[in-house]
Amino acid sequence: MKTPKKIINFLDKAGVKYDVIEHRKVYTALDKSKTLRVKESMVGKTVVLSSGSYRFLVLTSADSTINLDKLAKLLSKEIGKEVKKISFASEKWIKENIKGMKQGVTPPFGDIWGLPVFIENSFLKNAKIIINSGVHTESIKMTPAVFRKVNNNLVGGVFSKKRRGV
């Protein structure tokens, strides 16, 4: 198993049911869905974003794009002040603060790093979800209920839309 021990220990300590699934090396959530032969809506993509000094994770499905205006409104409501700009967190910040994970496959477990997780509500309607494990050759499969249980600082909302042609 290549999934970082930090992730396995976190899930095991929470006492939740999950599966680590192996697959060929992939770099996008869309490729992961094709490789695993599952619906794109079932596979999550995680990004680390920032607004000023506020950092947070965002999780949405492979077949969607994030609407930054809608996300800014949700974030503004959550932190109690107007958010005008959201951008990707710097690689340097990610490397220094989300240690031991491969670039581009950050697991959406904000509690590990003290970060809130903003999740697209529609993603939680799947019976099972497949999310990043911290490496490019394994993913984690669990139910949305388990995902909710291990993320104490989870913020649900509607801030993405399905990609065209999907």
**pLDDT tens-digit series, residues 97-129:** 998 888 889 999 999 999 999 999 999 999 999
Mean pLDDT value across residues 66-91: 94
Helix (H, G, I), strand (E, B) or coil at 161: strand
* List of residues 6+ apart from 28 with CB closer than 8 A: 45, 62
Residue 24 has pLDDT above 80, yes or no: yes
* Angle, alpha carbons 74-40-142 (nearest 5°): 75
The whole-number average pLDDT for the span 122-151 is 97
- When pLDDT is cut at 50, 70 and 90, the band that residue 165 belongs to is low
CATH of the domain at 104: 3.90.960.10
Total domain count for the chain?
Answer: 1
- Largest pairwise CA distance in the chain: 43
Beta bridge partners of 45: 60
- Residue 120: its pLDDT value, please? 97
> Does position 166 have pLDDT exceeding 80, yes or no?
no
Would the pLDDT of 138 be above 70?
Answer: yes
Mean pLDDT taken over the chain: 94
Instruction: For residue 118, give every residue at least 6 positions away whose Cβ sits within 8 Å of its Cβ, in sequence order, or none.
Output: 56, 57, 58, 59, 71, 74, 75, 78, 155, 156, 157, 159
Structure tokens belonging to residue 43 = 């596979």
Sheet strands (E) in 108-153: 117-120, 129-132, 138-142
The parent domain of residue 43 ranges over 5-162
Rounded Cα distance between 70 and 42, Å, is 22
Q: What percent of the chain has pLDDT over 70?
A: 98
pLDDT, position 100: 84
Q: What integer pLDDT is reported at residue 163 of this predicted model? A: 79
